[in-house]
Amino acid sequence: MTAFWVLAPIMVLAALGILFVRKAVHAALLLAVVMISLAILYAVLEAPFLFAVQIIVYTGAILMLFLFVLMLVGVDASDSLVETIKGQQVLAWLVGLAFVVVMVVGLTQLTFGTAVGLDEANAGGNVQALADLLFSRYVFIFEATSALLITAAVGAMVLAHRERLTPKRTQPVLAAERLRAYAETGAHLGPLPSPGVYARHNAVDTPALLPDGSPAPASVSRVLAARGTMQATGLTDIEAIKDQLGVDPTEKPDAKQAGSEATDANTAGKSAATGSSEENEA
């Protein structure tokens, strides 16, 4: 009972956080808190098989897969405010309220008998007892659920499959297309410039700078630019670099001064080499 009273408030707060947080990644992390707490309750109730399945399958595999997909796709809070189906938010509120009413009515009709614990059920072992129930009393439901999951997996693969109608383009074909596009439209031949500003930033949302100090639009993904998450940059970085180096990079160097400095450096190098050779002879 101690574990329940400690974990129950944490689970309720995490479940409410899933509903009200604005970032999908935070919602996935809060769902992990709920699942891990539920697994601990299974362990306290002497159900080791459910404890292992909850940690390994649900939390360790399925939920982490959701989290990785969210992090790779980059779902933002602003994306969830766009209605892809007209009126879906109103419909969601109505369905949610109906579900709450059904749950309240159903819970008020419940009657609980005397709690007997899991000692009798786990007399021959928890895993053995679960296997006996799954493959005897609930075998039809178990097999129907398995068939449903397999059908869903096959359906997902069929929907994601794309039939190739044209031959796959090889590297020579792609190179010829790039050269043709360069000749016709002047498109850039090489790869897009990498993000970053003079090795001062390496984030993918920070554009590179052109020699005149203006940002290179092609160095940042168009998806980030459309979302408005691209970092602002430009002449401020030029000023910071100028302060660090102590020179103005926009000014052209004096040819005479550069030539005299190179001559002085060459003369100093020759003098040092001559002095070292005389010392060796001595």
Banded model confidence at residue 102, pLDDT cuts 50, 70, 90: very high
Q: DSSP of the chain, one letter per residue?
A: -HHHHHHHHHHHHHHHHHHH-S-HHHHHHHHHHHHHHHHHHHHHTT-HHHHHHIIIIIIIIIIHHHHHHHHHHT--TTGGGS-SSTTHHHHHHHHHHHHHHHHHHHHHT--------STTTTTT-HHHHHHHHHTTTTHHHHHHHHHHHHHHHHHHHHHH-----SPPP-HHHHHHHHHHHHHHH----SPPPPSSSTTS---TTS--B-TTS-B-GGGS-HHHHHHT-PPP-SHHHHHHHHHHHTS-TTSPPPHHHHHHHHHHHHHHHHHHHHHHHHHHH-
Banded model confidence at residue 21, pLDDT cuts 50, 70, 90: confident
The string of pLDDT tens digits covering residues 217-226 is 777 777 766 7
pLDDT, greater one: 164 or 275: 164
What pLDDT sits at residue 195?
A: 64
Question: What is the arithmetic mean of pLDDT over 234-262?
Answer: 53
What pLDDT sits at residue 62?
A: 80
What pLDDT sits at residue 160?
A: 79
Helix axes 24-44, 2-20, angle to 10 degrees: 160
Question: What is the arithmetic mean of pLDDT over 62-82?
Answer: 67
Banded model confidence at residue 199, pLDDT cuts 50, 70, 90: very low
pLDDT at 240 over 50: yes
What pLDDT sits at residue 132?
A: 84
d(CA 81, CA 89): 9
Question: What is the arithmetic mean of pLDDT over 240-246?
Answer: 56
What pLDDT sits at residue 230?
A: 67
Banded model confidence at residue 258, pLDDT cuts 50, 70, 90: very low
Q: Amino acid identity, residue 191?
A: P
pLDDT at 164 over 60: yes
Q: Looking at the domain that runs over 1-78, which CATH code has it been given?
A: 1.20.120.1200
The residue assigned the tokens 């405010």 is 81
Q: Shortest CA distance to 241 belongs to which of 273, 211, 278?
A: 211
d(CA 69, CA 83): 21
The residue assigned the tokens 């997996």 is 153
Banded model confidence at residue 273, pLDDT cuts 50, 70, 90: very low
d(CA 187, CA 184): 8
What pLDDT sits at residue 272?
A: 45
For 173-196, b/e burial (b = at least 16 CB within 10 A) is: eeeeeeeeeeeeeeeeeeeebebb
* pTM to 2 decimal places: 0.48
